[in-house]
Every structure is written in C-alpha cells, then in structure tokens.
Amino acid sequence: MPAYHELVEKYTKRKKDTLMDSVAAGLSYADNVAVDFGLLEESGLIDSLTVAAPFAIIAVTEQMKVILGKKTGKAGFGDAVQRMVRTGAAMGVGALAGLAGGPIAAIPASVATRALLSRYKSKTLLGMRVQERTDRLHALREQRMERASVPEGRPMLPIGMEYLEAL
C-alpha cells in the first residue's frame, strides 16, 4: 500500500493534465472569440484544427507516458478515453454557452465543466478506494477471529487449513 506522501505526489501530477486539458479546450473557443471580434478571418481549416487540438494533445501526452514507461498501454488508453470524454463534454457545454451567452461565455463554461467533471471523478474514485479498503479490513478481522478460535494447546494452522474433530 502506498504511503500518504506517495499518493499526494501522484495526484499532484494528475492536476497538471487537468490544467493542460482545460487550457486546450478553452483555446478551442478562443479562436471563435477572435473571429467574432474580427481579429482572425474565418476559415474551415482553423475551426477543424482548434476542435481537434485538445484531442490530439491528450493522445500525444498519454502515448508519451506509455512510451516512457510511466503507464501500461491499457492504463494509458483508458486514461486517454476518460480525458477525451471530459474534454468533449466540456466543449459541448462551451458550445451551448456560446450560443446562449455569446462567445465570451464559452471559455469559462468549458473550463468549469472540465474541472467539475474531474472533481466528480476524483471523489468517486476516492469513495471506491475507501470502500475497498474497508472491505479488506473486515475480511482481515473475520480471518483473525477464525484463527483465534483454535482450541488451547494446539498450534495455529496456516490460513485455509483447519483441525478435523475425531469421532
């Protein structure tokens, strides 16, 4: 079981991914704001690049973690899918906010949605870890009680073995 310091360090590193993904999703709306203010000319190429950029960043960063040996391929793929789903949801909420409140509302809505989804996932996983550890403690307690019920004068047997009573 990892120590508290190791867990804090691990989850601190994850916050960098959340920030990077939030910024990438926000930048995908920044081009819409720039087009509306006349700072950029509207072209299909810029729109497709800015929509695909957050997903490309996620794919590249997760693949680099797999290549560098920080994650297994399966874990990297799962994390990439989760990050892409959160980013897609954030971009969808940002698009709706952009339609309702203008392009300036899209960036905060997108970043806030991404952060809320990340926070929800973190709290859910924490609850699952606590439940698993509680279940493990209950199992250990039951195992200890079973071993404590060995008759006096007899040595304790390894787990899974028990004395047979003679008739």
pLDDT at 30 over 80: no
Task: Please give the mean pLDDT across all residues of the chain.
Answer: 76
Rounded to whole angstroms, the Cα distance separating 59 from 80 reads: 6
142-147 CB contacts, 8 Å cutoff, 24+ apart: none
pLDDT class of 28 with cuts at 50, 70, 90: low
Is the overall model pTM greater than 0.75, yes or no?
A: no
Mean pLDDT of 118-138: 88
Q: What digits encode the pLDDT tens for the residues 94-113?
A: 888 888 887 778 778 888 88
Mean pLDDT of 44-63: 75
Q: Give the C-alpha distances (Å, rounded to integers) separating 82 from 18, 45, 69, 118.
A: 11, 27, 20, 10
Tell which residue, 109, 62, 116, 108, has the closest CA to residue 84. 62
147, two tokens:
């071993």
Rounded to whole angstroms, the Cα distance separating 64 from 74 reads: 13
pLDDT for 14: 61
pLDDT class of 136 with cuts at 50, 70, 90: very high
Beta-carbon count within 10 A of 48 CB: 10
Q: What digits encode the pLDDT tens for the residues 109-126?
A: 888 888 888 888 888 888
pLDDT at 135 over 90: yes
